[in-house]
A and B are shown apart, each in its own frame.
Chain A
């Protein structure tokens, strides 16, 4: 006999995700991941001017406000054979880096840390011991006894007022929380500091993209212009401000995020053997240093790993018909040629066919279709995408910078390399990746300054902007690595309009339902991998693993929220 738990929605994510899991003898024995809101952006884009697509797709989500616009521009540029100037590539890279630094820090502290840090228990901490501990792991200046003592008093007020969800809605006191009160207090202090910090980091987008949220992109380059003495352009003052933002961002990552990550991880080493799942990893690659058309120049290399075998990395080709395919056998869509077919996105179809129960319902019929997410596969394999995939592919490709941060963290935590294939590995990889990105951002910044000093201020190639210079029909694919994982947009242009447009987004790879062969995708598979459930009424462990992927349903499905209240039901089957 097993219990069926329903967690709907999973909180502290963007968008709406439902997990149903069967629990037996304190372990997850079956799991179903469902996107219960519909996604039809593809239909909005059909018939539109391809040069405008970036602005529509940039509106999809409030978290990754840049990545869809970037993938869209690249997709259209690919179709029209446009090569953007080096400065535009660098500006895109700098915005990419700022997005990662912002997003990963916000994810760690504001969306994921509370799965590991018991904020109410932080009230038990001794401020003096907290100060000593903080100073032993980092040079970060805000670490005095007085600082932690004042903070504790403020937090006590919030906890007693009962007004704040973060202090009232958690599973506080759950036996799976293992941190000493002092580590909890450090985590809470940095939760608050990161709130202040993140306000600054996103200003990079406003400077280069003209506004934030939803900064401006441009097919052919970037919409900003460079003029060191021009008040309305990217001038000397704005450039120096960008430099300061990246320097301060890097300091926060090195002195706060990474020390906290390692300190917290050292109490949860058992999670290095939980939540691994598929063992297949997919990366499209990004951060070109010699143009987007030269993948060998990417700082984040592309590749695929199968069955945790890091001795071999497979090449990935997004144009080949049999590599990336989407299935709908368990999704609320239908294909013209039958629902067991797999379609390459250039031939993708988006026709809804909801066959699920009428809301409100108790359970989904998981034996049939049960999600609005399609199910993507790479050469038929279910793949995990995201920071762990990127760190593993970089590591497996023998890149020294990747090896240095990964081996350093493994040594500090004293865990084997196999611990990477886990919930803990996923969360750690996100931090280590941020460390690499923060360093690379400084290099891109210097490169941009050098180019400008050498007199190169080109920011866009507009020679093919006029549709009269386009072929009658063209198709393109643009890829990037969103913070949550591999992202690509496929477009088909006919008579100067978009005839088809398909997005395959990271959360679709990870959160999708089963495929026609019954193979699970990453969320389901990772929940099945050794996940303990201490208390079915408080399934904290499910949240840990699902949050370790950094779910962002907003672009995977589009939304509709009934009551916004969390359903957390337990039923004996």
Chain B
């Protein structure tokens, strides 16, 4: 993927439901990244099942790296990087707060305040028993997901993100 634009600051936003197994993958990643040092300009947020409550974060950053689960029929653990410009371009059936998030994105667009969004969509299996923690399939791709998110953040803010310990 080619990226040329740099941003003065950006938000790494993991969303999802921590109580729903793999659907919490975005939150799990945000919680892991929150314990690591980042240079000024990069913030990390566990957005939980935020919906409308997250709007202020979207309008406060020119660029958001969103991490969320998706039920798209691909094998569990598949990672895709998307650059949706409109709410209609977000994949269907993102995690549990699908509807709240969709309304939020539509709102941002109507307000003319949609930031540049990079979406890391992690595929999850269709049926999830309610529990906390990730399946082996998704746990196995966490290092790759973490590295890809950090590499993109590094590229976008034009500075080195601290190497993992």
Contact = CB atoms under 8 A, between A and B. Distances in A.
Interface string B53-94: 111100100000000000100000000000000111000110
Contacts of A38: 130
A213 B55 contact: no
Contact of B92 (A43, A110, A199, A563): A563
Given A164-B106, A213-B48, A561 B55 contact: no
A465 to B, nearest CB: 24
Contacts of B48: 59, 62, 65, 213-214
Contact of B96 (A196, A214, A554): A554
18 contacts: A13-B99, A14-B100, A40-B129, A43-B130, A44-B19, A44-B131, A44-B132, A60-B49, A62-B96, A63-B51, A163-B86, A164-B86, A165-B87, A212-B53, A213-B51, A561-B71, A562-B71, A562-B126
A62 B98 contact: no
B93 A213 contact: no
B144 interface: no
A560 B126 contact: yes
Contacts of B51: 14, 62-63, 213
Contacts of B96: 15, 62, 554, 558-559, 561
B116 interface: no
A176 interface: no
Interface in A38-77: 38-41, 43-44, 56, 59-63, 65
A417 interface: no
B132 A110 contact: no
The 7 closest A-B pairs by CB, nearest first: A62-B49, A62-B51, A40-B130, A213-B50, A564-B92, A199-B56, A564-B93
Which of under 10, 10 to 19, 20 to 34, or 35 or more describes the interface residues of B? 35 or more
Contact of A111 (B87, B103, B111, B128): B103
A353 to B, nearest CB: 15
Contact of B87 (A164, A198, A560): A164
A163 B107 CA distance: 12
Given A163-B88, A565-B92, A202 B56 contact: yes
Chain A interface: which size bin? 35 or more
Interface of B: 17-20, 46-56, 59, 71, 86-88, 92-93, 96-103, 106-107, 109-112, 126-132
A198 B55 contact: yes
Nearest to B112: A154
Nearest to A60: B19
A106 interface: yes
Given A13-B99, A14-B51, A63-B100, A562 B93 contact: yes
A213 B107 contact: no
Contacts of A59: 17-19, 48-49
Given A40-B129, A59-B49, A564-B98, A203 B56 contact: yes
Central interface residue in A62, A65, A214, by most chain B CB within 10 Å: A62
A554 B53 contact: no
A12 B99 contact: yes
Given A40-B129, A41-B130, A558-B20, A165 B99 contact: no
A60 B18 CA distance: 8
A106 B19 CA distance: 25
Nearest to B59: A199
Given A164-B110, A192-B110, 15 more contacts: A39-B130, A59-B19, A163-B86, A164-B109, A165-B87, A165-B88, A192-B111, A202-B53, A214-B46, A554-B97, A558-B17, A560-B128, A561-B93, A562-B93, A562-B126
B19 A163 contact: no
A62 B53 contact: yes
A203 B60 CA distance: 13
Interface of A: 9, 11-15, 38-41, 43-44, 56, 59-63, 65, 102, 106, 110-111, 154, 158, 163-166, 192, 195-196, 198-200, 202-203, 205, 212-214, 554, 558-565
A325 B133 CA distance: 32
Nearest to B58: A199
A41 B17 CA distance: 12
A202 B99 CA distance: 19
User: Main SS of chain A's interface residues?
Assistant: loop
Contacts of B59: 199
A9 B47 CA distance: 24
B103 A12 contact: yes
Contact of B52 (A9, A56, A110, A564): A110
Contact of A198 (B52, B71, B99): B52
A41 B54 contact: no
A563 B72 CA distance: 8
Between B19, B47, B100, the greatest number of chain A beta carbons within 10 A of the residue's beta carbon is seen for B100
Task: With a 10 A CB-CB cut-off, give which of A14, A65, A110, A562 has the most chain B CB atoms.
Answer: A14
A14 B97 contact: yes
Contacts of B54: 213
Contact of B55 (A60, A154, A195, A565): A195
A152 B56 CA distance: 25
A221 B46 CA distance: 24
A56 B50 CA distance: 14
A195 B130 contact: no
A61 B49 contact: yes
Contact of A56 (B19, B46, B93, B109): B19
